């Protein structure tokens, strides 16, 4: 597997070509951004932790029958993934009200929602990722009704599975963001929708069940500090990082060889 030229660089990840048609490499950077990149920082070790946590969560989902883009993790910062045509919508699933939902609609922080709330945001930095409705998605042909039906169903199933995974390790899944892509299924000869991007403390809100301590990117957004310690705590609780290991002991260079637990 040869790493080819850079195809795309986003805020937290880079995509590289490979010599294998249909497969690309997803590289996790240490860059953290918030408020549409108005706030930026480089947090050593974040990419390594997100790579590992996302690998674990996507593999868990795959075991439950969710089709994902992940082929395998290659090293500390990189994953081999299926190349997809990303649907230009961020799919947000909420269980408890916080963040933009409370600000936009005046819902009290921490309100437990009757049932998971699905929201759609257009992926467009220049417009600040505006909230959109399904009708906008259909009108402008960002995706069709059949695709959105399939995505809604998958998102709710993913929410059920992830809520269970996190509850089992003492964490509440407050809300999270998913991205999906289209890929050609050779066997079935149809375009199909699969889960893409990442699922990590960068894209989820995770609160400790007992104390409501934030174990996610809100530590950066709200200047709460100790972001890496919180992400490490998530990795440890999921059983993918040895108890005794501290991220400060890890060499993050290209040759780094942190031994994560095989699950
Ligand atoms: N989210 C994300 N990327 C985005 C916007 C949101 O991963 O560009 C995630 C965020 O981490 C949270 C959920 O989606 O878990 C809902 O975010 P919200 O709309 O409350 O955004 P806020 O403006 O408060 O970050």
Q: What CATH number did the domain enclosing 66 receive?
A: 3.30.200.20
**Does a structural domain hold residue 151?**
yes
Query: Rounded mean pLDDT of 200-204?
Result: 98
**Does the C-beta of 175 come closer than 6 Å to ligand 1?**
yes
pLDDT at 254 over 50: no
**Does a structural domain hold residue 217?**
no
pLDDT at 142 over 80: yes
**Does a structural domain hold residue 214?**
no
Q: Which atom of ligand 1 is nearest to the CA of 176?
A: 15
Identify which of 89, 104, 177, 214 to mutate to test ligand 1's pocket (most ligand atoms within 8 A of the CB).
Answer: 177
pLDDT in tens, 60-106: 999 999 999 999 999 999 999 999 999 999 999 999 999 999 999 99
Confidence category of residue 1, pLDDT binned at 50, 70, 90? confident
Query: Rounded mean pLDDT of 208-219?
Result: 98
Question: What is the model's pLDDT at position 255?
Answer: 36
Separation of alpha carbons 91 and 196, rounded Å: 11
**Does a structural domain hold residue 231?**
yes
**Does a structural domain hold residue 252?**
yes
**Does a structural domain hold residue 51?**
yes
Q: Are residues 77 and 92 in the same domain?
A: no
Cβ contact 247:49 at 8 Å = yes
Question: What is the model's pLDDT at position 50?
Answer: 98
Mean pLDDT over each residue of the chain, to the nearest integer: 93
**Does a structural domain hold residue 221?**
no
Q: Are residues 112 and 171 in the same domain?
A: yes
Count structural domains, the chain: 2
Cβ contact 88:125 at 8 Å = no
**Does the C-beta of 197 come closer than 6 Å to ligand 1?**
no
Question: What is the model's pLDDT at position 243?
Answer: 72
- 3 state DSSP class of 161: helix
Question: What is the model's pLDDT at position 185?
Answer: 85
Q: Are residues 116 and 9 in the same domain?
A: no
CATH code for the domain in which residue 135 is found: 3.30.470.20
The closest of 233, 226, 231, 199 to 216, measured between CA atoms, is 231
Q: Are residues 32 and 95 in the same domain?
A: no
pLDDT in tens, 231-252: 999 999 999 987 766 666 554 4
Q: Are residues 199 and 117 in the same domain?
A: yes
Question: What is the model's pLDDT at position 38?
Answer: 93
Which residue's alpha carbon is nearest to atom 25 within ligand 1? Answer: 99
Query: Rounded mean pLDDT of 189-209?
Result: 97
Q: Are residues 166 and 72 in the same domain?
A: no
**Does a structural domain hold residue 145?**
yes
% pLDDT > 70, the chain: 92
Distance 176 CA to ligand 1 centre (A): 7
Separation of alpha carbons 241 and 244, rounded Å: 9
Separation of alpha carbons 24 and 2, rounded Å: 10
Query: DSSP code of 170?
Result: T
Distance 90 CA to ligand 1 centre (A): 9
Between 262 and 162, where is the model more confident?
162
Cβ contact 75:20 at 8 Å = no
Range of the structural domain that residue 130 is part of: 85-208
């Amino acid at each position: 597997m040869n790493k080819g030229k850079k195809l795309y660089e986003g805020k937290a990840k880079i995509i590289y070509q490979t010599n294998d048609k249909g497969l690309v490499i997803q590289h996790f950077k240490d860059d953290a951004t918030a408020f549409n990149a108005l706030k930026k920082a480089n947090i050593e070790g974040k990419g390594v932790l997100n790579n590992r946590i996302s690998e674990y969560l996507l593999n868990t989902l795959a075991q439950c029958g969710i089709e994902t883009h992940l082929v395998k993790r290659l090293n500390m910062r990189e994953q081999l993934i299926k190349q997809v045509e990303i649907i230009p919508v961020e799919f947000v699933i909420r269980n408890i009200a916080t963040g933009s939902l409370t600000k936009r609609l005046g819902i009290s922080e921490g309100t437990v929602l009757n049932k998971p709330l699905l929201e759609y945001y257009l992926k467009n930095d220049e417009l600040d990722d505006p909230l959109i409705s399904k009708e906008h998605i259909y009108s402008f042909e960002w995706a069709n009704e059949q695709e959105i039906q399939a995505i809604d169903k998958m998102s709710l199933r993913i929410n059920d599975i992830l809520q269970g995974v996190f509850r089992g390790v003492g964490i509440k899944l407050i809300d999270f963001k998913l991205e999906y892509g289209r890929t050609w299924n050779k066997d079935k000869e149809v375009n199909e929708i699969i889960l893409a991007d990442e699922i990590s403390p960068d894209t989820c809100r995770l609160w400790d069940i007992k104390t409501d301590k934030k174990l996610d990117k809100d530590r950066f957004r709200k200047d709460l500090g100790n972001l890496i310690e919180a992400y490490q705590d998530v990795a440890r609780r999921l059983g993918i990082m040895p108890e005794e290991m501290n991220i400060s002991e890890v060499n993050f260079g290209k040759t780094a060889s942190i031994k994560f637990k095989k699950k």
